Amino acid sequence: MTDMVREVGTDAATTPGRGALLVLVTITGAVVLSLEVLGTRVIGTHYGSSLYVWAALLSVTLVCLAIGYAVGGWLSDRIPRTWMLCLLLMLAGASVLLVPVLRRVLVPLSNVLGLAWGAIASALILFFLPLTLTATASPYVIRLCARRVEGVGSTSGAVYALSTVGSVAGVLAVSFWLIPSLGTRRSLLVCSGLLIGVGALGMVFALRAKGLPLLLLSLLPTVLGGAEPRFRGERFHTESPYGELRVIERDEPGRGPYRMLMVNGIMQTGMPLDIDLVSAGDILRSDGYYLELLPYFYPDLAAGRKGVLIGLAGGMFARVMEFYDVELTAVEIDVKVAELARAYFGYRGEITFPSGIRHEVDLSRFPDRRSPVLEQLARTDPEHLAAHQPQRPYRGRAVIQDGRQYLISHPEKVDFIVLDAYNSDVIPFHLITREFFERVKSRLTEDGVLAINYIGRPTGDFVTDSLFRTLREVFEADRVRAYRTRAERSAVQVMTIFAFRRPMELIPHLLERDAQAGVGKLSYELHLRTEDTDRPGGIVITDDLNPVDLSRANTALEWRKQTMQFIR
């Protein structure tokens, strides 16, 4: 019988063992998926964390893998040498170093191409070379490992299995360890170092050269990485599984020092530092913080009532509610955000996990915490400062949990629920549906109130119309009220929306309880800025049909531009 088995030509004498090549392909698999996850953090600071960003990264990754597999297969047939594979990996690692530099093109791209195409173009510019070059490893390793045709099948299976295992390990490592502990920039350097280091080691064996100079190339990411860029007035920077977090302090003309919490480049909290020196209603009038209207729907100013805040952020609402005798449970999904609320924004509630275990915050880890307003007052008028110190223990706590899951696991009724949850510029899709609002309504007492801090266009906006329509279906048309915070109806802005279990009035209680100067102006302002919530348009948003991410694309981009202009 004719022997149909033939040899496959490689540089067998200088090819590392099969085991070493399989380890190499496992590492490249880990790096590919790590870069994909890191990509969402890199472009997410400019494009948010919407469905567009994930779609852009997934599609670009798949395109790069396809091209890399094709190029790797073609090149391995023509140059079946280990040194070429190692050179490709070293080039891939070097191209990862360009990502922090090329981030500068993201803002111009978003301005020209918009959110969807800008995200895709940004992903291509930043990650095309690293992903494509890394993807060449799999077909190259198959070519180098397969000495005989009859072994190609098992070799291919082993290569793609281990590459996939590496991808799983990479996703878990970068999501649960690298990003939270090292941050995005240093995680990119780790990926670069892995590729350059593995390539350099392979080159040593392939060329039988002295390895020290090549191995030193793996230190390039550390040398070229540079420092993390800072914003003007930045007090603290960290990363969590949910985003890039920054605390920034600025002096606002005519208003004084402000402290802001930024998540993925979007301001989540803006708190005046004189909040410790004011009283009930002052922030409402001076800053237009309409969420503080909530107690004025009750004749007793909500005294003794209980509420739930979904989305603690810096704790602005929690701080304001200290002026009123309420018990507030804040539900925050990100424990690092809760830590920053305690360290930099004066939140006094204890932080717990759903199990009831208390999370202790080591404040020594957070520099520059002191308020310049309070420091100056401590020097000039300590008695005045002492008079504004909290007079009673804080009533409430923060629970580290998803807001919807909290309502499911806590069936007790409360008097009000406040929804102020954003993932940078995106409302979590499961917190804006009919099913969620039905759950909220079932947790409210008979005179309960739902308050929503919403960012959008008051008019001509599909998501705004859909939100109003969804709330009307759950709470009835005459029990939904909305106030915009700016005079222009077409501008993207903060809106405060209230929905009631029963008909409730605001202004009579506001006028009756607060006769200080400025109330008449506030009442007139609210009258002018009341939005009609009973209007056509939009859809009922459900768990099954929820186009909010895609429909909010332009709104989110406009809000991001406004925020960046404010903090730059």
**H/E run at residue 320:** helix 316-320
Query: Taking Cα atoms as reference points, which of 133, 123, 96, 124 lies closest to residue 41?
Result: 123
Between 12-21, 272-281, 351-360, 366-375, the lowest mean confidence (pLDDT) is in 12-21
Q: Could you tell me the domains of the chain?
A: 12-225 (1.20.1250), 234-567 (3.40.50.150)
CA-CA distance, 483 to 480, in Å (whole number)?
A: 11
Task: Report the pLDDT averaged over residues 320-339.
Answer: 94
Average pLDDT for the chain:
85
pLDDT tens, position by position, 289-319: 999 999 999 988 888 999 999 999 999 999 9
Residues pairing with 329 in the sheet: 308, 397
| Of 388 and 133, more confident | 133
Query: Which tokens in the block code for residue 265?
Result: 């480049």
CA-CA distance, 481 to 451, in Å (whole number)?
A: 10
Task: Report the pLDDT averaged over residues 347-372.
Answer: 91
Q: Which long-range contacts does 187-190 make (Cβ < 8 Å, 24+ apart)?
A: 187/34, 187/38, 188/35, 188/38, 188/42, 188/96, 188/97, 188/99, 188/100, 189/96, 189/97, 189/221, 189/222, 189/225, 190/221
pLDDT score recorded for residue 13: 43
- Give the pLDDT band of residue 5 (cuts 50, 70, 90): very low
What would you report as the CA-atom Rg of the chain, rounded to the nearest whole angstrom? 28
- Give the pLDDT band of residue 230 (cuts 50, 70, 90): confident
CA-CA distance, 62 to 67, in Å (whole number)?
A: 9
Q: Are 130 and 99 in contact (CB under 8 A)?
A: yes
CA-CA distance, 85 to 72, in Å (whole number)?
A: 9
Task: Report the pLDDT averaged over residues 529-533.
Answer: 93
SS3 (DSSP) at 244: strand
- Give the pLDDT band of residue 4 (cuts 50, 70, 90): very low
Task: Report the pLDDT averaged over residues 31-53.
Answer: 84
pLDDT tens, position by position, 103-161: 776 656 666 777 778 888 889 999 999 999 999 999 999 988 876 556 788 888 889 89
- Give the pLDDT band of residue 406 (cuts 50, 70, 90): very high
Task: Report the pLDDT averaged over residues 530-538.
Answer: 92
Q: Chain-centre distance of CA 125, in angstroms?
A: 22
Task: Report the pLDDT averaged over residues 185-194.
Answer: 91
CA-CA distance, 351 to 453, in Å (whole number)?
A: 23
Q: Chain-centre distance of CA 69, in angstroms?
A: 32
SS3 (DSSP) at 48: coil
Report how many helices (DSSP H) and strands (DSSP E) the chain contains, helices first: 23, 14
Task: Report the pLDDT averaged over residues 540-550.
Answer: 88
